[in-house]
Amino acid sequence: MKLARRVSIGLIICWILSAGVFILYVTSLKHRYERPFENIVVLTGGRNRIASAFHFAEIYKSKNVFISGVYEKTTLRDLAPPKSASEVKVVLGKQAKNTEENAREISEWAKQNGISEYLLVTSDYHIPRSEIALKNVDDSLKIYPYAVKSQFSFDFIRRCIKEFHGTAYGCVKFLFGKIRGRFTTTIFSSSPR
């Protein structure tokens, strides 16, 4: 009984410390790039994400802005892009309902348009899970994340904890995918023909 209690307490302490490290990491994210980006991808669902994407499109004179996870009845006019964005090709992705679906939607868009790299705009607390989901779908794409800063509050901590769980799940999924890929490659490459 004492061993089970100690293990339980140890796991709880590990979880609290890991979640705390995750929150510290998220609040310290600073992404600044000196180079322009032709392609910008933004994930819906957080404050100032879309406005930040259009801001960067204007600064970098980007060619494409892809907005993933848009509600099916939303139009570009509803998102109110600045007049300066009229020279940018804006595509609304309306298939994704969650981060994993965002990753598939973005990968399809990138393949259809011959895109190999892009600036990813999403909330600071959402960057780690988004990057892992995108790498799970297509790790050949080069992603440059930009974290839209969130205001530190109870809601921010709640979102961080939710994202911490999603990130941990995504990491495990990514690692098992890599191990499975290596295992099957080893088996098939070493089998006699």
CATH number of the domain residue 123 falls in: 3.40.50.620
Task: Report the pLDDT value the prediction gives residue 12, as an integer from 0 to 100.
Answer: 82
As for how many domains the chain has, the answer is 1
Q: Is residue 3 part of a domain?
A: no
Q: What is the pLDDT of residues 65-103, one digit of tens each?
A: 999 999 989 888 888 766 666 678 889 999 999 999 999
Residue whose structure tokens are 């099916």 = 72
State pTM to two decimals: 0.75
Rounded distance between C-alpha atoms, residue 95 and residue 30, angstroms: 30
End-to-end Cα, the chain, rounded Å: 55
- Structure token pair of residue 45: 């669902």
Q: What confidence category does residue 178 fall into, taking pLDDT thresholds of 50, 70 and 90?
A: low
In a domain, 6, yes or no: no
Q: Which domain holds residue 142?
A: 20-187
DSSP 139: T
27 versus 131: which is more confidently predicted? 131
118-139 mean pLDDT: 89
